Amino acid sequence: MLIEKSSDWKEGFIERLENRQSWDSWTLYKMSYDIAKQNLITDFSGLQSLKYVPTVTPLAHQLEVAERVIEEMNGKAILADEVGLGKTIEAGLILKEYMIRGLVKKALILAPASLVNQWVEELHQKFHIPAMLYKKNYELDYVDVVVMSLDTAKRSPHKEKIYAQDYDLIIVDEAHKLKNHKTISYTFVQNLKKKFCLLLTATPIQNDVFELFYLVTLLKQGHLGNYDSFTSVFSGSKRDVDQDNYLKELVNQVMVRNRRQDTGVKWTNRQVQVVPVEFTAEERDVYQLLSELKHVSPVFSDAFSTMTLQREMCSSQEATLGTLKKLYAECSTSEELAYVNDVIQRLDMLDIHSKAEKAVEIILNANDKVILFTEYRGTQNYLHEYFHSKGISSVIFNGKLSKNSREWIKHLFKQNAQVLIATESGAEGINLQFCHHVINYDLPWNPMKLEQRIGRVHRLGQEHDVHIYNLAIQQTIEDHILDVLQGKIGIFEKVVGELDDILATNY
Partner 1 sequence: MYPQQIHEYLRQFFNENKCPIINENEHYLNIQLTIDMDKKIMNRPFYWKYIESVNETPNPAQITLITDIQQLKEGVKGEVVHFGSPRLHQLFRVTKEMGSFVKMYEQVHSAPDGQMILTPWLGVNYKISYCSHQTKETLYSLGINLMTGAVFQEFQERLTKLDLVKDSPEQVFNLPYIITPVRALDRLDAVVDQMVREEDQTWAEEAKKRWQKDQAVLDYFYEGQDEKPECYEIEKNAMEERFKPRITIEVLNGGLFYLIGDHARSQMHK
Residue 139 has a CB neighbour count (10 Å cut-off) of 7
The distance of closest approach from Cβ of residue 102 to partner 1 in the complex, given in angstroms and rounded to an integer, is 6
# binding residues, partner 1 (CB under 8 A) = 66
Name the DSSP class of 21. S
Torsion over CA: 269, 115, 105, 77 (sign): positive
Which run of H or E residues covers position 375?
none
Beta strand segments in 188-250, E: 196-200
- Cα 51 to Cα 58: distance, rounded to the nearest angstrom: 12
Fill in the per-residue mask, 107 to 146: x = in contact with partner 1 (CB under 8 A), - = not in contact: ---------------------x-x----------------
- Cα 216 to Cα 233: distance, rounded to the nearest angstrom: 16
Stretch of 79-87, 194-202, 353-361, 385-393 lying at the interface with partner 1 (CB under 8 A):
194-202
Nearer CB in complex with partner 1: 227/408: 227
State which amino acid sits at residue 435: C
* Pair type for strands 131-133 and 76-79: unpaired
* CA distance between the termini of the chain: 61
Nearer CB in complex with partner 1: 120/430: 120
- Single out the residue of 126, 100, 122 nearest to residue 109, CA to CA: 122
Nearer CB in complex with partner 1: 16/400: 16
- Cα 439 to Cα 385: distance, rounded to the nearest angstrom: 17
Nearer CB in complex with partner 1: 5/266: 5
Judged by CB under 8 A, the chain residues 354 through 373 that form the site for partner 1 are none
Query: 368: Cβ–Cβ under 8 A, 6 or more apart, which residues?
Result: 418, 435, 436, 437
Nearer CB in complex with partner 1: 56/140: 56
- Cα 40 to Cα 100: distance, rounded to the nearest angstrom: 10
- Edge-to-edge strands, sheet with 394-397: 270-277, 466-473, 437-440, 370-373, 419-422, 394-397
Fill in the per-residue mask, 203 to 232: x = in contact with partner 1 (CB under 8 A), - = not in contact: --------------x--xxxx-xx------
In the list 6, 156, 237, 404, the residue contacting partner 1 (rule: CB under 8 A) is 6
Three-class secondary structure of residue 200 per DSSP: strand
Nearer CB in complex with partner 1: 193/411: 193
Nearer CB in complex with partner 1: 6/402: 6
The distance of closest approach from Cβ of residue 141 to partner 1 in the complex, given in angstroms and rounded to an integer, is 19
The yes or no reply on residue 196 touching partner 1 (CB under 8 A) is yes
Backbone angles phi, psi at 40, to 5 degrees: -65, 135
- Cα 333 to Cα 336: distance, rounded to the nearest angstrom: 5
The distance of closest approach from Cβ of residue 126 to partner 1 in the complex, given in angstroms and rounded to an integer, is 11
* Pair type for strands 419-422 and 270-277: unpaired
C-beta separation of 93 from 66 below 8 A: yes
The distance of closest approach from Cβ of residue 492 to partner 1 in the complex, given in angstroms and rounded to an integer, is 25
The distance of closest approach from Cβ of residue 221 to partner 1 in the complex, given in angstroms and rounded to an integer, is 5
Judged by CB under 8 A, the chain residues 8 through 67 that form the site for partner 1 are 8-10, 12-14, 16-17, 21, 23-33, 35-45, 51-55
- Cα 301 to Cα 293: distance, rounded to the nearest angstrom: 8
Judged by CB under 8 A, the chain residues 222 through 281 that form the site for partner 1 are 222-223, 225-226
The yes or no reply on residue 70 touching partner 1 (CB under 8 A) is yes
The yes or no reply on residue 388 touching partner 1 (CB under 8 A) is no
The distance of closest approach from Cβ of residue 319 to partner 1 in the complex, given in angstroms and rounded to an integer, is 42
The distance of closest approach from Cβ of residue 360 to partner 1 in the complex, given in angstroms and rounded to an integer, is 50
Radius of gyration, alpha carbons of the chain: 27
The distance of closest approach from Cβ of residue 137 to partner 1 in the complex, given in angstroms and rounded to an integer, is 21
Nearer CB in complex with partner 1: 54/157: 54
Query: 446: Cβ–Cβ under 8 A, 6 or more apart, which residues?
Result: 206, 207, 485, 488
In the list 47, 65, 66, 75, the residue contacting partner 1 (rule: CB under 8 A) is 75
State which amino acid sits at residue 392: I
The distance of closest approach from Cβ of residue 94 to partner 1 in the complex, given in angstroms and rounded to an integer, is 13
Q: Cα torsion at 120, 124, 129, 130 (round to 10°)?
A: 70
In the list 68, 101, 388, 403, the residue contacting partner 1 (rule: CB under 8 A) is 101
Nearer CB in complex with partner 1: 31/338: 31
Return residues touching partner 1 (CB under 8 A).
1-6, 8-10, 12-14, 16-17, 21, 23-33, 35-45, 51-55, 70-71, 74-75, 101-103, 128, 130, 168, 190-196, 217, 220-223, 225-226
